[in-house]
Structures are given as C-alpha cells and as structure tokens.
Homo-oligomer: A and B are copies of this chain.
Amino acid sequence: MPQGQPSNVPDDGLTTRQRRNRPLVVVHTGEMKGKSTAAFGLALRGWNQGWSIGVFQFVKSAKWRVGEESAFRALGRLHDESGEGGPVEWHKMGEGWSWTRKKSTEEDHAAAALEGWQEIARRLRDERHGLYVLDEFTYPLHWGWVDVDEVVSTLRERTGHQHVLITGRYAPQALIDAADLVTETSKVKHPMDAGQKGQKGIEW
C-alpha cells in the first residue's frame, strides 16, 4: 500500500527509502490452509521483480502441493528460456532434499529437517536467493528438530537483500518476535464442516 502512511517513524538513522527496502522476515501462521497459498501468491510478486526464488518445503510427503509447484516450475522455465521474471528452485524434504539425492525414511524427519535448514543457512550466507519460502518450517521449530535461536540469529545476521517467508502453525514466539510481518489466518467456515472432503485444484 504505497499510499499508506506508517503510524510512527522510527529514529533509526535510515531514510524512508532505505527503511522501505529493508528485507523482511514474514511469518504466515494460524490454523488455516491459506498460509502457504498466500506465501506462493506473494512469491509471484518476487518472481515478477526478477528475484531468485528458493522454495523449501518441510513436508513429509512429496505428493503435496503439486499445483503451486508445477506453476512455479513453469515460471522458472519461462525465466530460463526468455529471461522473464526470476529463476525458481523448488526443494522438498519429503522425497529427500534434491541437493543431496538421499531418500528420506519415516524415522529421519528430524535429521532431514535439520539438513534442510543448514542448506538454507548456507544459502543465506551466500546471498543465493532474493526470496526464500520456508513452507511449513514452523513444525521442525515447534518440535525442537531445528533450534529456533539459531534460526533467529542466522536471519538477523543475513546480509544483502534477502526476504524470508516462513509458513506453518505453532510459530514459536522467538520467531514471531524476530519477524517484520506476521499474519494469522483463521477459519470462519470450511467445507469439511459440511461433510465435504478436499478436492483437486482447491486443496492441492
């Protein structure tokens, strides 16, 4: 909302432009599914700005979210072929992170989640992406598989212009404290309440 006026202007020595362009940590939390879809909707804007988009899905099953993944892979190919938008990398824990090619088993989700985070931390140090989508990353934090204090200090110390978007329920308070933008999506009404199960094109 470019017309909007901030309710207060901090005495931080930054110009409005510098403050405006500060990279953000965004958290989408709450009980509803809109968290991830809103994250991928936001990533469309970053793609359009030509940013490198890195998606890291901390989900158990590799079969999930085929819709967003296919669309973003298509946008990434479009970039590679025509230079339009930005490049896209899409990684999923459920089938073993693609940079390791190691298959994950039922038992090693904690190890796989930690491995995912360590790769993200490396990329943040290398300023690899303009926008990171850490989809459902709150769960490994909530379960203690990845140390939230280490994540917060890595995010605080990141250099360059890297936005980080984290989705999932049970976002730890330390993460919320460290974030610039936090939204919570709640259910008013859901088809499952009326006995309707999920369907293609809507739920995946």
Stretch at the interface among A94-102, A117-125, A141-149, A182-190: A182-190
Would B49 and A42 count as touching, CB distance under 8 A? no
**A201: which of B1, B7, B49, B204 is its contact (CB, 8 Å)?**
B49
A97 → B minimal CB distance (Å):
23
Would B44 and A192 count as touching, CB distance under 8 A? no
Stretch at the interface among A8-16, A107-115, A150-158: A8-16
Which residues of chain B are within 8 angstroms of A204 by Cβ–Cβ distance?
Answer: 2, 45
Expressed in whole angstroms, the Cα–Cα distance for A186 and B183 within the complex equals: 6
Which residues of A are interface residues toward B (Cβ below 8 A)? 1-2, 4, 6-10, 12, 16, 19-22, 24, 26-30, 32-34, 36-42, 44-49, 51, 66-68, 70-72, 74-75, 78, 84-85, 130-131, 163, 176, 179-204
Would B67 and A46 count as touching, CB distance under 8 A? yes
Would A74 and B68 count as touching, CB distance under 8 A? no
Which residues of chain B are within 8 angstroms of A191 by Cβ–Cβ distance?
Answer: 22, 24, 180-181
Which residues of chain B are within 8 angstroms of A24 by Cβ–Cβ distance?
Answer: 191, 202
Expressed in whole angstroms, the Cα–Cα distance for A196 and B68 within the complex equals: 30
